[in-house]
């Protein structure tokens, strides 16, 4: 009699894409194990301080992907999000101008807390999924289909202290750079030292822009890979709630706020507590000239007087000085799969600049598309192959996934780059009314 067993997926990264992938494959009947280098977020009140951006915009693309795995997830996130029906342009003279995304049907994008999104997705994972936190993939032996993890104590002894200077090689797992970022692991906290290695049928790299899975795949086969930084950094600032205003919102809560200033811009997304997370996008070369508190104060007062008035000069400058400067990169990989044994999803496969508000939305969409390709190719939850043995039907399905996704992802990375000019400059021109896009920032 032929023996069958569940297929085994090892997912690296329990960010939003990794967590949704785990849930999706578990529902297909696969055996799922997840490794995440950070602490377990479940049941925590506050976010780890090294997460990129406090909030983000989730659109119908992302909600549809969540719905495809579990309709209640999409409902839950929509209930926790703040709809943004358009952009609010803040001119230098203080005038505000609303530009609705969809004046006819009223479609919105939604501001949601990134830690809450991530936490809820991880909390939705059933206990039959093996979750390992503080478990960092260090290498993959594709010849034997085994993954190896490094212990946190080793990591600490080899990692250089971060500074606020941009050195791409010194990126954190999530791309955050130096300055205020604290590590989530405590020194000396031991995890497994996986000398035996962990076997898998399929390893799924959901490990973000600086993916280790991708690096290992690139040693196995001819993967086309490109990485392009833009000259701009991003810095997060905080606009606190104003208790004298309804809900604490000092500016309209149902807009994505933009202070476009051509070469640079400030944006603001609402949080549930009445505060806004502001993000300054500015060339590194210009930031280098703001090297004293006075110079920074002049810059903000000249360019963003209304924001200075609401936030307060001291608070704004304190944040500006202490918060990390993040870099913005576009990454493309093709194919994003190797044999029947590896696939990259989310930022690991397609990091994009955030100006289209679609990086995460596309990552979640990867999960939906992969699921539908597995369905179409009749990839069942069980296999007769030995653990790690190559499976030609799964290999075909993965190839089909990579082909189907490639052009769409290339296009959206390009659109994201173009939308930066739109947001920081074109929105100031009357012609922008003809160029409105729904489902973008
Ligand atoms: P990540 O969120 O990077 O998660 C990767 C996970 O893998 C992390 O938890 C990390 O700890 C873990 N990991 C990494 N290496 C290892 C390892 N070796 N072993 C184990 N675990 C590992 N997108 C939108 O859709 N809308 C927005 O409005 C938006 N705004 C943004 C604003 C900014 C400023 C930035 C920088 C990005 C924005 N994005 C937005 C993009 C979005 O943040 C990313 O696309 C999204 O976080 C990608 O999710 P992910 O799960 O693929 O990767």
Residue 155 has pLDDT above 80, yes or no: no
Name the average pLDDT for the chain: 88
For the Cβ of 12 lying below 6 angstroms from any atom of ligand 1, the answer is yes
Nearest CA owner, ligand 1 atom 52: 346
- Ligand 1 atom with least separation from CA of 328: 36
pTM: 0.90
61-65, 187-191, 288-292: range with lowest mean pLDDT: 187-191
More confidently predicted of 434 and 263: 263
Nearest CA owner, ligand 1 atom 4: 15
Residue 210 has pLDDT above 90, yes or no: yes
pLDDT value of position 420: 84
pLDDT value of position 439: 53
Nearest CA owner, ligand 1 atom 16: 207
- Ligand 1 atom with least separation from CA of 57: 28
For the Cβ of 269 lying below 6 angstroms from any atom of ligand 1, the answer is no
For the Cβ of 88 lying below 6 angstroms from any atom of ligand 1, the answer is no
pLDDT value of position 421: 80
Share of the chain above pLDDT 70, in %: 84
- Pull the structure tokens for residue 11: 């997912």
Residue 172 has pLDDT above 80, yes or no: no
pLDDT value of position 423: 77
Q: How far is CA 364 from the centre of its chain?
A: 10
For the Cβ of 234 lying below 6 angstroms from any atom of ligand 1, the answer is yes
- Ordered by where they begin, the domains of the chain are 5-85+107-224+332-418 (3.50.50.60)
pLDDT value of position 58: 96
pLDDT value of position 168: 34
How far, in Å, CA of 63 to CA of 56, rounded? 13
Nearest CA owner, ligand 1 atom 26: 357
For the Cβ of 357 lying below 6 angstroms from any atom of ligand 1, the answer is yes
Mean pLDDT to the nearest integer, 282-291: 96
Mean pLDDT to the nearest integer, 105-124: 94
Residue 350 has pLDDT above 90, yes or no: yes
Q: Kindly indicate the confidence band of residue 176, based on its pLDDT and cuts at 50, 70 and 90.
A: very low
> How confident is the model over 228-251, as pLDDT tens digits?
999 999 999 999 999 999 999 999
How far, in Å, CA of 356 to CA of 361, rounded? 10
How far, in Å, CA of 374 to CA of 395, rounded? 10
pLDDT value of position 183: 36
Residue 163 has pLDDT above 70, yes or no: no
- Ligand 1 atom with least separation from CA of 209: 3
- Ligand 1 atom with least separation from CA of 19: 51
Q: Which residues contact 359 (CB under 8 A, 6 or more apart)?
A: 347, 351, 352, 416
For the Cβ of 149 lying below 6 angstroms from any atom of ligand 1, the answer is no
Among 347, 353, 356, residue to substitute to test ligand 1 (most atoms within 8 Å of Cβ): 347
Beta carbons of 280 and 261 less than 8 angstroms apart? no
CB atoms within 10 A of CB 368: 19
For the Cβ of 270 lying below 6 angstroms from any atom of ligand 1, the answer is no
For the Cβ of 14 lying below 6 angstroms from any atom of ligand 1, the answer is yes
Q: Which residues contact 265 (CB under 8 A, 6 or more apart)?
A: 258, 259, 280, 281, 423, 424
For the Cβ of 365 lying below 6 angstroms from any atom of ligand 1, the answer is no
Nearest CA owner, ligand 1 atom 34: 53
Measured in Å, residue 320 CA sits from the centre of ligand 1 at 23
Nearest CA owner, ligand 1 atom 2: 15
Share of the chain above pLDDT 90, in %: 80
For the Cβ of 205 lying below 6 angstroms from any atom of ligand 1, the answer is no
In this prediction, does ipTM exceed 0.90? yes
Residue 372 has pLDDT above 60, yes or no: yes
For the Cβ of 278 lying below 6 angstroms from any atom of ligand 1, the answer is no
Mean pLDDT to the nearest integer, 21-32: 98
Identify the three-state secondary structure at position 215: helix
For the Cβ of 185 lying below 6 angstroms from any atom of ligand 1, the answer is no
- Ligand 1 atom with least separation from CA of 212: 18
- Ligand 1 atom with least separation from CA of 345: 52
Q: Kindly indicate the confidence band of residue 21, based on its pLDDT and cuts at 50, 70 and 90.
A: very high
Identify the three-state secondary structure at position 424: helix
Query: 415: exposed, middle or buried (C-beta count within 10 Å: 0-12, 13-18, 19+)?
Result: middle
Q: Kindly indicate the confidence band of residue 1, based on its pLDDT and cuts at 50, 70 and 90.
A: confident
> How confident is the model over 39-88, as pLDDT tens digits?
999 987 655 545 556 899 999 999 999 999 999 999 999 999 999 999 99
78-82, 171-175, 352-356, 381-385: range with lowest mean pLDDT: 171-175
């Amino acid at each position: 009699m032929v023996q069958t067993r569940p297929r085994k997926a090892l997912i690296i990264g329990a960010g939003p894409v990794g967590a949704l992938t785990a849930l999706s494959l578990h529902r297909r009947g696969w055996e799922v194990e997840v490794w995440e280098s950070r602490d377990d977020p479940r049941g925590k009140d506050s976010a780890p301080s090294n997460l990129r951006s406090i909030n983000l915009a989730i659109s119908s693309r992302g909600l549809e992907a969540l719905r495809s795995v579990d309709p209640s997830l999409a409902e839950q996130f929509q209930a926790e999000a703040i709809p943004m029906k358009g952009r609010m342009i803040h001119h230098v003279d203080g005038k505000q101008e609303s530009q609705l995304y969809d004046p006819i049907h009223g479609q919105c994008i939604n501001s949601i807390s990134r830690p809450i999104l991530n936490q809820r997705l991880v909390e939705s994972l059933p206990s039959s999924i093996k979750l390992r936190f503080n478990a960092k993939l260090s290498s993959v032996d594709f010849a034997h289909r085994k993954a190896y993890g490094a212990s946190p104590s080793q990591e600490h002894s080899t990692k250089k202290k971060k500074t606020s200077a941009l050195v791409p090689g010194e990126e954190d797992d999530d791309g955050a750079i130096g300055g205020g970022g604290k590590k989530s692991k405590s020194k000396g906290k031991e995890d497994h030292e996986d000398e035996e290695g962990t076997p898998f049928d399929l390893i799924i790299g959901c490990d973000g822009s600086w993916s280790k899975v991708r690096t290992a795949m690139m040693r196995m086969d001819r993967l086309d890979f490109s990485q392009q930084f833009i000259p701009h950094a991003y810095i997060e600032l905080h606009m606190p709630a104003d208790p004298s205003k309804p809900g604490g919102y000092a500016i309209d809560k149902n807009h994505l706020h933009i202070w476009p200033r051509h070469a640079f811009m400030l944006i603001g997304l609402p949080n549930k507590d009445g505060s806004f997370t502001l993000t300054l996008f500015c060339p590194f070369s210009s930031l280098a000239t703001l090297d004293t508190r006075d110079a920074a104060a002049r810059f903000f007062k000249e360019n963003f007087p209304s924001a200075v008035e609401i936030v307060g000069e001291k608070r704004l400058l304190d944040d500006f000085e202490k918060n990390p400067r993040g870099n913005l990169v576009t990454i493309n990989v093709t194919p994003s799969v190797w044999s029947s044994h590896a696939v990259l999803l989310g930022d690991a496969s397609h990091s994009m600049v955030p100006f289209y508000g679609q990086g995460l939305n596309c990552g979640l969409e990867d999960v939906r598309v992969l699921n539908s390709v597995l369905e179409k190719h009749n990839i069942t939850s069980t296999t007769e192959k030995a653990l790690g043995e190559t499976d030609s039907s799964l290999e075909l399905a993965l190839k089909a996934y990579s082909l189907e996704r490639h052009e769409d992802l290339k296009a959206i990375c390009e659109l994201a780059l173009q939308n930066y000019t739109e947001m920081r400059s074109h929105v100031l021109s009357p012609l922008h009314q003809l160029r409105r896009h729904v489902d973008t920032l």
